[in-house]
A and B are shown apart, each in its own frame.
Chain A
Amino acid sequence: MLTLSQVNKRYPTGDRALTDIELSLPRGQVMALIGPSGAGKSTLIRCVNRLVEPTSGSIRLGDTELTRLSGRQLRRARRAMGMIFQEFALVDRLTVMENVLSGRLGQVGFWRSFLRRYPTDAVIEAFRLLDRVGLPHALDKRADALSGGQRQRVGIARALVQDPQLLLVDEPTASLDPKTSRQIMRLIRELCAERNLGAIINIHDVALARQFADRIVGLRAGEIVFDGSPEALDAETLTTIYGEEEWDTQAENEQPAAPQDDVTPLAHEPALSQVLSGGVSR
């Protein structure tokens, strides 16, 4: 569905952020993008929705060549790509509902959005998603009154209200504690499965990537150095991605932990509602 070929990005300062990226993402696949800080993960997903302009190469979503779009067409293409941010990127002084509805901005005229007169179906869908991520009661709260995990849920609802074909997720768990991180990753994973969405998830935490992704791509200094299933990611490849470190001890600690922690993806709707209502303690 999404195909990147020969994508390069060079910043005006001369830094080469991406080199000859070749990548394709089928519909419904959740892909984790790992790599050290500064490897170009953020640049890569921002090139896809053109928050950052790629220097050369081609990026296709379905039949659309994204790199040539401009103005109105670019905005239309962006509607098909929902984005979730590291610092949640909510507008603090707006209410939760306004933040979720802002995902529909691309489909609503300026005055309607300015006066907050959203069409009925947009409101229904926004509230349904708010319910789905477990925050129906927070409707009129200001975004800065929420906790980190709740804010990220609002961010997810905002991305999904766009009714996207693809999710671009930038470090969704970097500002969250370990437990909330897992809940958020599981939620993203489930929502992708429900809607058959493709997703690219930038993530620092290799363990989380292993647990929740179908496929892992390793980036180092702007180049893809690994592309395969989570099982194929061993200590040796981690060394090629991140450099020398004693990976095994960490891997041993975490591999057995995974099943115990009940994180088998896609399995359980009831557990989810428990998690979301905050009543889970193990």
Chain B
Amino acid sequence: MPVSTTPQGTPTWRLRTTRAQWLGYLAWVAGICLFLLCWKLISDNTMWVFVGDAGRQGSDLISRMMPPQWSYAHRLWQPMWDTMNIATLGTVLGIAMAFPVAFLAARNTTPHPLVRSAALFIIVASRSINSLIWAMLLVTILGPGVLAGIIAIALRSIGFIGKLLYEAIEEIHPTPVEAISATGASRMQVMSYGVLPQVLPAFAGISVYRWDINIRESTVLGLVGAGGIGLQLNAAINSLAWNQVSVIFLMIFVTVLASEWISARVRHAVI
């Protein structure tokens, strides 16, 4: 925060120097120009007639959703159970695969820098690709069904759990690891005594957190045929049965809130 002296000899204070100020303005102008350019691209691809109609469409949609067709709910228990299974089994499978990957990706436990790069690539690839895309691919390979959903969730979870876990491994205290190595322990023993106990709470927290996210994601996998309540959602939307859609929405809403609550409680307990 520079203080300069005016010709009259009194010191004045300003937050930034002139140069920094101009650079700041320039960055803002460039940012705004970029934003406007993007906006123009979007607006060129938009049928504004439809947009003008949006309010009427929205209120129409809501009136069709109300009242929900409650009798439809009893047909949703089975798909909801499937959805939970997709999320839970997918998370378990994802954990099983993410665990070794994280150890290979952490700077302090990796056997070789090349292995580390490969593990990091697996993590980035898994993180970049949404579970819905994995599900689309797997449905063409395995056929529609719960299995495709489970594997899609697992593949997406590798990146998430792997990334957070390897960061946790890199942040452990090095001295216990050093002490265990000094006893003449083998590599695996150093991992299981020096590293594992230190990351276990973080690992449990991350896994439960991901389970909660996976419940949310598995509700839509059915849209591409990978099982769960999304199948019903897709069918209801295609047949324009909006009063069924609203039942499904409520069901998803309650389930997700419940899983979020459980996950928060468990995370609170372990950390």
Check B184 against A114 for contact (C-beta < 8 Å): no
Q: How many interface contacts (CB-CB < 8 Å) are there between A and B?
A: 81
Interface centre among B175, B181, B184, B192 (most CB of A within 10 A): B184
- Which residues of A24-54 have CB atoms within 8 Å of chain B's CB atoms? 49, 51
Check B182 against A90 for contact (C-beta < 8 Å): no
Tell me the bound Cα distance from A93 to B188 in angstroms. Answer: 18
CB-CB under 8 A from A82, the residues of chain B are 183
Asked if B193 lies at the interface with its beta carbon under 8 angstroms from chain A, I say yes
Tell me the bound Cα distance from A83 to B184 in angstroms. Answer: 11
Which of B176, B178, B193 makes the CB contact (< 8 A) with A105?
A: B193
- A251 shortest CB reach to chain B, Å: 33
Asked if A189 lies at the interface with its beta carbon under 8 angstroms from chain B, I say no
Asked if A162 lies at the interface with its beta carbon under 8 angstroms from chain B, I say yes
Asked if B147 lies at the interface with its beta carbon under 8 angstroms from chain A, I say no
| Interface flags, A92-120, vs B, CB<8A=1, else 0 | 11100010001111110010011000000
Which of A79, A87, A94 makes the CB contact (< 8 A) with B183?
A: A79
Check A93 against B183 for contact (C-beta < 8 Å): no
Asked if A77 lies at the interface with its beta carbon under 8 angstroms from chain B, I say yes
> If the complex has contacts A76-B184, A79-B183, are A105 and B189 also in contact, measured as CB distance less than 8 A?
yes
> If the complex has contacts A110-B189, A113-B192, A113-B193, are A89 and B184 also in contact, measured as CB distance less than 8 A?
no
CB-CB under 8 A from B189, the residues of chain A are 105, 110, 113-114
Asked if B32 lies at the interface with its beta carbon under 8 angstroms from chain A, I say no
Tell me the bound Cα distance from A77 to B36 in angstroms. Answer: 69
- A175 shortest CB reach to chain B, Å: 11
CB-CB under 8 A from B183, the residues of chain A are 78-79, 82-83, 102-106, 158, 162
Which of A51, A85, A94, A113 makes the CB contact (< 8 A) with B197?
A: A94
Check B184 against A79 for contact (C-beta < 8 Å): yes
Check B176 against A114 for contact (C-beta < 8 Å): no
Tell me the bound Cα distance from A107 to B186 in angstroms. Answer: 10
Which of B176, B197, B201 makes the CB contact (< 8 A) with A89?
A: B176
Asked if A16 lies at the interface with its beta carbon under 8 angstroms from chain B, I say no
Asked if A195 lies at the interface with its beta carbon under 8 angstroms from chain B, I say no
- B157 shortest CB reach to chain A, Å: 25
CB-CB under 8 A from A51, the residues of chain B are 178, 181-182
Check A92 against B184 for contact (C-beta < 8 Å): no
Mostly, the B contact residues are: helix
Chain B residue nearest to A87 (CB atoms) is B175
Check B192 against A91 for contact (C-beta < 8 Å): no
CB-CB under 8 A from A102, the residues of chain B are 180, 183, 185, 193
By size class, the interface of chain B is 20 to 34
Chain A residue nearest to B185 (CB atoms) is A105
CB-CB under 8 A from A98, the residues of chain B are 193
Tell me the bound Cα distance from A92 to B172 in angstroms. Answer: 11
Asked if B200 lies at the interface with its beta carbon under 8 angstroms from chain A, I say yes
CB-CB under 8 A from A141, the residues of chain B are none
CB-CB under 8 A from B180, the residues of chain A are 91, 102, 105
Check B184 against A77 for contact (C-beta < 8 Å): yes
Tell me the bound Cα distance from A165 to B155 in angstroms. Answer: 51
Asked if B194 lies at the interface with its beta carbon under 8 angstroms from chain A, I say yes
Chain B residue nearest to A101 (CB atoms) is B193
Asked if A17 lies at the interface with its beta carbon under 8 angstroms from chain B, I say no
CB-CB under 8 A from B179, the residues of chain A are 83, 85, 89-91, 155, 158
Tell me the bound Cα distance from A107 to B14 in angstroms. Answer: 68
Check B194 against A91 for contact (C-beta < 8 Å): yes
Tell me the bound Cα distance from A114 to B189 in angstroms. Answer: 8
Tell me the bound Cα distance from A79 to B192 in angstroms. Answer: 18
Check B184 against A162 for contact (C-beta < 8 Å): yes
Asked if A81 lies at the interface with its beta carbon under 8 angstroms from chain B, I say yes
Asked if A179 lies at the interface with its beta carbon under 8 angstroms from chain B, I say no
| Interface flags, B162-199, vs A, CB<8A=1, else 0 | 00000000000001101111111110110011100110
Which of B184, B192, B198, B201 makes the CB contact (< 8 A) with A78?
A: B184
Interface centre among B179, B186, B194 (most CB of A within 10 A): B179
Chain A residue nearest to B188 (CB atoms) is A110
Which of A75, A94, A104, A158 makes the CB contact (< 8 A) with B186?
A: A75
Tell me the bound Cα distance from A51 to B176 in angstroms. Answer: 13
Which 3 A-B pairs give the minimum distances between C-beta atoms? A106-B184, A105-B185, A89-B179
Residue pairs across A and B with Cβ atoms less than 8 A apart, 9 shown, are A78-B182, A91-B180, A105-B189, A106-B183, A106-B185, A106-B186, A107-B184, A113-B193, A114-B192
Q: A89-B178, A106-B183, A155-B179 are in contact. List 17 more A-B contacts (CB 8 A).
A: A51-B178, A78-B184, A79-B183, A85-B175, A90-B176, A90-B179, A92-B176, A92-B197, A98-B193, A102-B183, A105-B184, A105-B185, A105-B193, A106-B184, A113-B189, A113-B192, A158-B183
